[in-house]
Amino acid sequence: MLLIYSENFSPRLEYIARLIFEDILLSEVSFTSDIPEFQKSEDPKINYSPQNIYGGLYLEPHPLLFSEGLAFSGPAPEFFGESHFLFPAGNGSFLPFDIFAASFYLVSRFEEYQPARRDSFGRFPPEESILYKNGLLQKPLANIWANFMAEKIQEFYPGIVFPERKFRFFSTIDIDHAYAYLHKGFLRSSAAFSKDLLKADFGNLKSRVKTWLGISRDPYDTFGYLDSVFRGNENKVVFFFQLGNYGKYDKNISYRRKAFRELIKNISLKYKTGIHPSFRSSREGEGTQLASETGRLGGITGLHVEASRQHFLKLEFPGTYQRLLNAGITEDYSLGYSTVCGFRAGICTPFYFFDLEKNCTTNLRIFPFQVMDVTLKDFLKLRPGEAINEIGKIMEETRKSGGTFISVWHNENLHDTGAWEGYREVFEWMNQTGFKWANE
């Protein structure tokens, strides 16, 4: 048990201290604002107050955790020192920086609430991030900082033991397009066929007709292949289904199609499933479309829907997460970038969403991801071997920190033909390595 003293406890301080000690360092923490209680305690203890006179380890606090809303006094955050710290601390502090304020700034996504440039889809781009600007996006700083603090605490309190943290691995699959040609109905199929004719895309026409005639498997039907890769590790996999109405950015087949419903049901018998809210749902402040889509998935699987990942990674703080909470979602897997790999919130441990607008901890647990297939091939333009190296570096960073590595792949990109040829090897290497490390 570690005891923290502060003159005034705030929801922010309790939130980030519990995240660091309980979720990352797997240790107990308690709090007090009573000076005699703190001084009498024989537990390892930290004095997080302006006065360095009460004993224990002293850490000078930054005002961020005692502020409300989106403003705080003090200079704009910037990294300092070779170890890349935020919010320097002085006056005899046992750390050179305020780890609580620094970690809270990154994990709460404080910067994403601020006025900043957005991309064409209204998303916060990585180039606006303090981590990207300082070349630190591929470092889980909150975990690294927590381990650094644990070492410093053990130097002062040799008897304290922080449990060993195991690497965890989740492979997640987004089903934006369950099938390329099948089960789309007469009108959609006829329109697609005509479009191929007008474009003289005879390769696609041939593939389409052979699939309709049962000569070839639908190229997006990679579900048997996925089963073979995941066999024995089904509890480390999550499938997300897009069940929105057809539109410009929502092109999955209808959730009413029998074949699609059977696919969803069969997958839900083996794997955890979640909703992949449509692009259209992200434009609705009330969340009625999200509730409708969540109800569709629950109606098909017969299970409560607790997990979600935003289609197109449409994530806006705090509105997106507030809508998910209202829909009964308790886990979200959307926190990552579409154009670069890395740790968007500077952490590789799942954590609860702190709503800065309401200044409170919620029960929505965020599972940040680090790597996506489209990022590797389309944005970073990596060849398969280069993609393996990129994934390997990030997986190793996660493993060293005892964190959780999560990837995003799409069934439609695992057919191993055309532009995606060779990426099955990447997918297989990542899963084989990840499952092995997680099972050690």
User: Across residues 202-228, what is the average pLDDT?
Assistant: 87
Beta bridge partners of 70: none
User: Quick one: fold of 168-180+218-439?
Assistant: TIM Barrel (3.20.20)
Domain ranges of the chain: 2-156, 168-180+218-439
d(CA 204, CA 193): 9
Q: What percent of the chain has pLDDT over 90?
A: 82
Question: Taking the model in full, what pTM does it have?
Answer: 0.94
Q: Which two tokens stand for residue 39?
A: 């001084």
The amino acid at residue 218 is: D
- Alpha carbon dihedral 73, 76, 80, 83, in 10-degree steps, equals 90
Is 120 exposed, middle or buried (CB count within 10 Å of its CB: 0-12, 13-18, 19+)? exposed
Q: What percent of the chain has pLDDT over 70?
A: 98
Beta bridge partners of 332: 308, 366
pLDDT at 284: 65
Is 313 exposed, middle or buried (CB count within 10 Å of its CB: 0-12, 13-18, 19+)? buried
pLDDT at 170: 98
Higher pLDDT, residue 197 or 79: 79
Q: Write out pLDDT tens, residues 119-135.
A: 999 999 999 999 999 99
The CB density around residue 315, as the number of other CB atoms within 10 Å, is 22
Q: Which two tokens stand for residue 308?
A: 């979600």
Q: Is the pLDDT of residue 285 over 70?
A: no
Q: Lowest mean pLDDT: which of 145-149, 250-254, 300-304?
A: 250-254
Average pLDDT of the residues of the chain: 94
The pLDDT confidence band at residue 210, using thresholds 50, 70 and 90, is confident
SS (H, E, C) 353-405: EEECCCCEEEEEEECCCCEEHHHHHHHCCCCHHHHHHHHHHHHHHHHHCCCEE
Residue 62 DSSP symbol = P
pLDDT at 171: 98
Beta strand pairing status for 360-366 and 351-355?
Answer: antiparallel
